[in-house]
Amino acid sequence: MATVKSVEITNLDTTPRTTLEAASAGGKLRVWMDTIAVGTGDLDNDDVIVMAQVPSNAKIVSLRIYNDDLNSGSGTHNVGLYNGPQAYTISGTTTDAAAVIDEDCYATDSDAFQAATTVTTGVEEYLVEVRDINKIANFVWEDGGLSEDPKVPLRIAITMSATGTAVAGDITMVVLYAVD
C-alpha cells in the first residue's frame, strides 16, 4: 500500500517546515462578477471585451462565463490576460497599461457564444480549457507566462478570434480567486 502526498502537504511535513505558497492553503476567497451588454459591433474579429480585474498574485479557482446566444454562425473567442491600468517592468522590458499579455491562456477558439448558457445549461468552466490541471495552483502572472510577479492588477478579457453572425446580448463573467 502506497501513501503519497500533494505538494502543499509535503511542504507541511518537511523539517524545517516549508512555507506554504500564498493562497494555496488557507487563502481568502474573493469574487469578481460583472455583466456587459454587447452589440453586434463588439463581436468582430480582434475585438476585446475586458471583463474582470484581479491581483497578479491571485490564484484563480473558477472562471465561468454565462452568455446569451451571441453568434448564429461560426464565430469563436479566446479568454486571456491583459495588463491593467498601469505599466510594469520585468527584466528591463516595460509592458504598457492595457497591453495584451496572453490573449488565450484560459481559452482558445471557444465556440460557446454560439448558444446561450445559463446556470443550469452548458456553463463553461474556462479555467482548465487550455491550462493543464497540474497548473491549478498557478498565480495569475504565471498563467500569463510572465517570469515574475509584476505586482499590478491584471485583467481577464475575451478576444474575438473569428467572426460569425453576431447577435447583440449579454455576457456575464464570474471569477473566484484566492489571495493570502
Rounded average pLDDT over 52-61: 97
The answer to whether residue 60 is domain-embedded is yes
Residue 122: which pLDDT band, with cuts at 50, 70 and 90? low
The bridge status of strand 48-55 relative to strand 153-162 is antiparallel
% of the chain residues with pLDDT over 90: 63
Asked if the structure places residue 82 within a domain, the reply is yes
Rounded Cα distance between 88 and 168, Å, is: 35
Over 80: is that where the pLDDT of 14 sits? no
Q: What values do phi and psi take at 123, rounded to 5?
A: -65, 130
Average pLDDT estimate for 13-30: 79
| 24 located within any domain | no
Q: Which domain holds residue 97?
A: 33-179
How high is the pLDDT of residue 178? 96
Which of 15-29, 59-73, 135-149, 161-175 bottoms out in mean pLDDT, i.e. has the lowest?
15-29
Q: What is the pLDDT of residues 95-115, one digit of tens each?
A: 999 999 999 999 999 999 988
| Whole-number Å distance between alpha carbons of 103 and 107 | 8
All three cell numbers of 173: 463573467
Residue 31 has pLDDT above 90, yes or no: yes
Residue 10: predicted pLDDT: 77
For residues 20 and 12, the answer to whether their CB atoms sit within 8 Å is yes
**Residue 175, domain member (yes or no):** yes
Q: What is the pLDDT of residue 71?
A: 87
DSSP structural state of residue 17: P
116 or 99, which is more confident?
99
Residue 12 maps to a domain: no
d(CA 156, CA 28): 20
Least confident range from 87-101, 113-127, 160-174: namely 113-127
For 154, phi then psi, to 5°, come to: -115, 155
The pLDDT of residue 6 is 75
How many structural domains does the chain have?
1
* In a domain? residue 23: no
CA distance 138 to 22: 11
